[in-house]
């Protein structure tokens, strides 16, 4: 796995995480009383789909050159990145079990990346 592989993984994770943030933002708009067909809600959903679409295109390009079994474990970083962004952007609380689980995820990703193949 080369530097370009890691770049594609990082960009995929960033866009996929941004998509999840827009989904959360959309749900907050709806909770505030915005109509489903309001410009704000439609715009937020559009940005979520756009972000996830870009992530999907980059992911497909990555899979042209890498086995799925090698690339997919890195998607676990989204379980770290999305809650972290939720904490920063939406002031969501992260618990001690979340941090402990994050450490286990990181250890698992490192083991797979370094010794799995």
Domain boundaries, the chain: 3-115
10 Å CB burial of residue 51 (0-12, 13-18, 19+) is buried
pLDDT, tens only, 55-64: 999 999 999 9
Distance, CA of 37 to CA of 42 (rounded, Å):
6
Contact 12, 59 (CB under 8 A): yes
At 91-114, the pLDDT tens digits run 999 999 999 999 999 998 888 888
Give Dmax (Cα) for the chain: 51
Residue 109, pLDDT score? 87
The model's pTM: 0.88
Q: What average pLDDT score do residues 65-73 get?
A: 89
């Amino acid at each position: 796995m080369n530097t370009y592989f890691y770049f594609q993984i990082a960009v995929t994770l960033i866009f996929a995480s941004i998509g999840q943030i827009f989904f959360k933002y959309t749900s907050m708009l709806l909770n505030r009383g915005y109509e489903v067909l309001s410009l704000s809600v439609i715009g937020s959903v559009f940005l979520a789909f756009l972000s996830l679409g870009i992530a999907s295109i980059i992911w497909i390009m990555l899979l042209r050159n890498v086995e799925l079994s090698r690339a997919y474990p890195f998607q676990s970083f989204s379980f770290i990145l999305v809650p972290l962004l939720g904490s920063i952007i939406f002031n969501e609380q992260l618990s001690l079990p979340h941090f402990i689980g994050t450490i286990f995820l990181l250890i698992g990703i490192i083991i797979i990346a370094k010794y799995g193949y």
